[in-house]
Structure 1
Amino acid sequence: MLYMDYAATSPLYEEVIETITEVMKSHYGNPSSIHRLGVEAEKLLQSAKGVIASSLKVTASEIICTSGGTESNNLAIKGVAYHYRHRGNHLITTQIEHPSVKEVFAGLEQEGYRVTYLPVTKSGCVQLEDLQAVICEDTILVSVMYVNNEIGTIQPIQAIGQYLADFPKIIFHVDAVQGIAKLPLDPKSWGIDLCSASAHKFRGPKGAGFLYKRTGIQLKPLLAGGGQEYGVRSGTENVPLIVGMAKALRISMDNLTSKISRKHTLRRQLLAGIAAIPELSISGSVLEHEMAPHIVHFAFAGMKAEVVVHALEQREVYISTKSACSSGESEPSEVMLALGYPREVAASGLRISYSDEHQEQDIALFLRSLHEVVKELAPMRNPSVIHRGKRN
């Protein structure tokens, strides 16, 4: 079996499984309880937050534990919109955000907020000048993802954060779900106020995530309850998963530079192999520094993406079409549409995502399987859209 869908979810490190199991067995106290078992659980919780904070060069009190990226994004965006509405009702995001961001903004529009969706280039990158052109007195929030979850384009969040430093009343949120533990991330020096993460993207457990909230930022809580997580996120903390998340993040961040280099080597091998198949066209920028090292996206014009996914599955090779949160839908990728692809081609996009532990022979196996599938399916393509698959 060859699993290359790490952007959807990743297998847990063995050490993380062992840690979670041990905490579940031995430290089952409620961290809000005042007796010894509760105090022990609270110490584990704070220790885990310290590990997470250290990885991001922030303080433990700035880490809010959540159930994952979706909740973190909802808490950040709605929390700012509701708390700071007295300052204005203008919100800014991009056309290519994850559904857990995009759908939140769509809901806020229904509540009377004004939302600007920034366009992207044909490689999927937001332009700083487009942001500069739409900021106004009523702007209270800018939300831009770090790495696009489908194409893999890296957004210029450092430049955006630096620019927004001149607008202290505007909150800057970054969905870093696909960027954390894959690329360097320094929220404080980059001017990020809120930053979302999800454990299962960096080989931690599902159902755990966190939101970095810079000291001084206020959020309206979305959940009423016991006031856990500094009053921002009520609900008894899931200590085993939070400890497992912290361990997974620490392991993933170790030797990050060499891991990035390793994945870029694999990415170059993938790109060369895909480019050698005439029926396929690679998405995103040709500049390596603009693309995440762990995601490769391409289109097979005239062929529905799910057909390719299932054909590869028959060979026990696993990739995906678009965001796992929307891949069950038959509609074309909204991200590819935003990049300028026609609808038929946007329905043919495929995403490969992998880890630094993959080997060159894994990539070679994938490319052989892909070549076989393309050869098998090519005669079935819709000829009316084939010529539109390639882009200048």
Structure 2
Amino acid sequence: MGSGQRRFAGLGQPWQTSQTLLLIPVALIALITVADIVTPSDIVLGPLLVIAPALTAWFAGPWTTGGVGTLAVAAQAFIGWHSGQLSSRHVIVQVAALVVLTSLIVVLCAVRDRHRRQLAQVRSVAEAAQHVLLWPLPSRLGPLQLACLYLAAEEEAEIGGDLYAAARTDGAARVMIGDVRGKGLSAIGEAALLLGAFREAAHQHAALPELAAALERSITRYLADFEPDEETGERFVTALLLEIPDDEPVVRMTSCGHLAPLLLGPGNAVTVPDLTPAPPLGVGMTDPGDRALDVLPFGSADTLLLYTDGVVEARDRDGVFYPLAQRTAQWTGSTPQALIHHIRHDLLAHTAGRLADDVALIAIRRTPAPHPGHHLGHHPGHHLGRPSGPARSAPAEPPDHRSGRPP
């Protein structure tokens, strides 16, 4: 199927679309040929025939483009034969020029199609890498419903420096969201390391500060081996670790320099919990006592929205930050999946589709568990809960800095 058929998908069956589009260059060849014949001899329209293969290359492949080009060359020869000047110098030059231009168009068309195939292959590899490194979160995790979103800032990339993961432990669910310093493909190494370390350590440590210390040790070892000398001390990862028990209406959090989540409640309430500040992972804090554990109420009527700074630092054309807290206030009654859908659509509209940094979002909501022992599902979803403990009103506009990150 030609690229024009894919581009005009929805107008009809592929073969119908192709034949319909081919009528345009063929009709142009016929029109130019007739016009050249009926006009006075001092008006030469034959060179305009090159428009036909050039137009065909826009929606078809090299073979179809070559066929239309051959038809255009035949029409040019017919014009010369009809005028009795086929063997004249100027007609021979016109035919030769049309052959050369058509050949060039066919070559460029073939190169373009080759690049498209390569790009499609790269995209498929990126998608496979995303599924290997950044597993889709389950739509259900015990008594929790989850939904997630990932948008990479780098062109044609499917993955980057933002990350999230979830694990089911005995009687609880653990969730992590993080942001590697930097963006796009250059941050994948640290992101992959942290994801692997979390999936293993989440089942081995009883408390979140101990889990954070284990992740710190993994990051420290990685940076010791692979951190470039010129970036010593400049590579780190912000992360927020959560533990939500099945039988308690609370959420436990340990912040590693990451942004506090938004807590969405009934009546369009949007607040931000006051989490104990701590430096990001990668600065050498391997003692569990260096990081605090915040415990906040989290009921079934609450929604918790985790996000990375690529969301609140996204700007519109006038440089205005995306007002996440203000916008989410109108969607507090939405399901998690609908909430993420609204934010995605609104964020891309705010930035006109141009993101300066990677974006990750997770929504979590507690609901009655369908049955004991429910385990990880296979489809992403959206739900979050709101701790109602110490909190402050969320600002309408996000500040112009990266919360919890060293300058």
TM-score, length basis structure 2: 0.24
Larger radius of gyration: 2
| TM-score in terms of structure 1 length | 0.24
Q: Higher strand share goes to which structure?
A: 2
